[in-house]
Amino acid sequence: MMPITSIVAGYRQTIQHKFSRNWESISFMNQDKYDVSLGITGYTFIPRPYYVASRPIEAASIDTLFSADSLRADSLATEAQPEPKTEIARFYVDYDPWVEYKAIDIAGGAPVFSRIKLFYSHASETSMLKVSYDSGPMVQFGLSSGTELQTLDISPQSPITTLRLEFSTSDPIHVYGVSFNEDTGVYVDNFPIRGYSGLYFQRIHQNILSAFQKELEYDLVVMQYGGNISNPQNTDYNSFKLVMTRTIRHLQQALKDVPILVVSVQDRSIKDRGEYKTSPDIPLLVKAQSEVAAETGCAFWNLYEAMGGYNSMIGFVNQNPPLA
């Protein structure tokens, strides 16, 4: 399952992934728009006639009177200038949002695309999608209306290596991603969300999550979180346990009979009086994660212990070549 945009697209080796800038991206990290369900990737993408970026705020020009004092030599010394201020702004464009995927013939990659499916919702009766196979002419497809998860089979008549999708700037449908799954093989969908704690999967509404499972038929869910909530000052993870338990229960209700594996946080070092050592909260967080797994009936793998436990990160860093 591939997202529409990704901040780590350049690191992906199995599929080459390019996209235009004019997509609105909503994820777990957004502090608003809770009424918008996210997709299985943790994102919802909306085509827009603009993209959002920061721009510098120009300081206002101030007219001042020159005085003799302003010519003193000491006034000519260079003063430290404050950091320039920025603001978030919209930059309007004159092209439709697009995304392009290219097959990569390497071990573990996809040498060709044969079975392709688009996942979306909130289309209208007039919504259209334009598709180009191997840089050929655009082919138009009509989309199904409705707020439930919709799928569209856009598989080519024969295998291809490049797929390009174009959407209308004037049609803010919710696009979740594209799958390239074949009938055979093992597929691992890795959904990285930078800065995410692993909590609040309720942002993927249960009906959407269940519909994704019906289409993709996952056999295992692996949850590996914790690094973004670890804090050396923290001595109590009871609140984390409560929220994480609710999160897993939400997944279990939507993904009926799908086993879940909880992977603990890894060892994490902090610098204390010039010396690196394991952050004191890591054993507490690992314990909390194991208790959540036990309470919810999930499998649990202690990555911290598998690394070697206390101060094991130092050994990984000091390997030649470094392992972390």
Residue 214 — pLDDT band, cuts 50, 70, 90?
A: very high
Q: Is residue 66 part of a domain?
A: no
Give the span between the Cα atoms of 180 and 193, in whole angstroms.
21
The share of the chain scoring above pLDDT 90, in percent, equals: 74
Q: What is the pLDDT of residue 195?
A: 82
Q: What is the pLDDT of residue 65?
A: 39
Task: Assign residue 177 the CATH number of its domain.
Answer: 2.60.120.1360
Q: Choose among 175, 179, 177, 167: nearest CA to 138.
A: 167
Q: What is the pLDDT of residue 78?
A: 47
Q: What is the pLDDT of residue 59?
A: 53
Q: Is 265 exposed, middle or buried (0-12, 13-18, 19+ CB in 10 A)?
A: buried
**Co-location of 3 and 149 in the same domain:** yes
Residue 84 — pLDDT band, cuts 50, 70, 90?
A: low
DSSP 8-state class, residue 59: P
Check if the beta carbon of residue 49 is closer than 8 Å to that of residue 185: no
DSSP 8-state class, residue 309: S
Q: Is the pLDDT of residue 275 over 80?
A: yes
Check if the beta carbon of residue 97 is closer than 8 Å to that of residue 108: no
Q: Is the pLDDT of residue 97 over 60?
A: yes
Q: Is the pLDDT of residue 254 over 90?
A: yes
Q: Is residue 74 part of a domain?
A: no
- Domain housing 324: 219-324
**Co-location of 41 and 155 in the same domain:** yes
Give the span between the Cα atoms of 165 and 98, in whole angstroms.
5
Q: Is residue 310 part of a domain?
A: yes
**Co-location of 131 and 242 in the same domain:** no
Residue 75 — pLDDT band, cuts 50, 70, 90?
A: very low
Residue 83 — pLDDT band, cuts 50, 70, 90?
A: low
| pTM for the predicted model, two decimal places | 0.86
Distances (CA, A) of 255 to 109, 121, 196, 215: 27, 20, 21, 12
Check if the beta carbon of residue 224 is closer than 8 Å to that of residue 179: no
Tens of pLDDT along 122-135? 999 999 999 999 99
Q: Is the pLDDT of residue 62 over 70?
A: no
Q: Is the pLDDT of residue 85 over 70?
A: yes
**Co-location of 94 and 184 in the same domain:** yes
Tens of pLDDT along 43-58? 999 999 999 987 777 6
Check if the beta carbon of residue 56 is closer than 8 Å to that of residue 23: no
| Residue showing tokens 């200038």 | 81
Q: Can you give the three-state secondary structure of 119-186, one letter per residue? A: EEECECCCCEEEEEECCCCCEEEECCCECCCEEEECCCCCCECEEEEECCCCCCCEEEEEECCCCCCC
